[in-house]
Amino acid sequence: MIRLLILAIIAAVPALAGEPPIRPDPVLTPGVVASTDAAEVCGRTGGLTYSQAHRKTTAAMKAEVFRRYGIDPETARQHSWEIDHRVELAIGGADDVRNLWPESGETHPNFHDKDRLEAEVWRRVCVHHTMTLAEGQAIFLGDWIEGYTKIFGAAP
């Protein structure tokens, strides 16, 4: 039984042969939503945005995420990597390792493309109110590249 569990865990960790991940692994990073309340997410908390008030990503959390994805944290520091939230904090994502994944700045698409999508979704949800919070969160709980294509009319 224990041997099967160990084999299942090993199988769930993607090998980093070739290109770094451009999408979060749904097993390692299923995504976690902390709030589904648009008033809470889009309002200000003591002068801070929701994202600023709820950001608590530690170095230990980041190192754990790199290890879960089979990436040496020291190697990652030498390259253009960031630990990103699958569901962005600004639209109610949780600061939880199950919502974090390593994103490269050297691939295409990369974290700059996802950052552009995050900013646009936040504007549509919290500024223009042309998208519900649930719709915005669903983009990131699904395939963010498909969401990007839908929002901007072309793939990143």
CA distance 32 to 112: 22
CA distance 125 to 144: 16
Q: How many domains does the chain have?
A: 1
- Decide: helix, strand or coil at residue 43: coil
Q: Cα separations (Å) of 77 from 66, 80, 84?
A: 10, 7, 14
pLDDT in tens, the chain (156 residues): 444 333 333 334 443 444 678 999 999 999 999 999 999 999 876 555 777 777 889 999 999 999 999 988 877 776 788 899 999 999 999 999 999 999 988 889 999 999 999 999 999 999 999 999 999 999 999 999 999 999 999 999
Residue 51 confidence (pLDDT):
75
Q: Which residues pair with 81 in a beta bridge?
A: 104
Residue 139: Cβ within 10 Å count: 23
In this prediction the pTM is: 0.82
Residue 19 confidence (pLDDT):
63
Residue 26 confidence (pLDDT):
96
Residue 13 confidence (pLDDT):
40
Residue 46 confidence (pLDDT):
52
Domain range for 31: 2-152
Residue 45 confidence (pLDDT):
61
Residue 147: Cβ within 10 Å count: 20
* Cα end-to-end span (Å), the chain: 44
- Strand boundaries in the chain, DSSP class E: 44-45, 48-49, 81-85, 100-104
Residue 48 confidence (pLDDT):
53
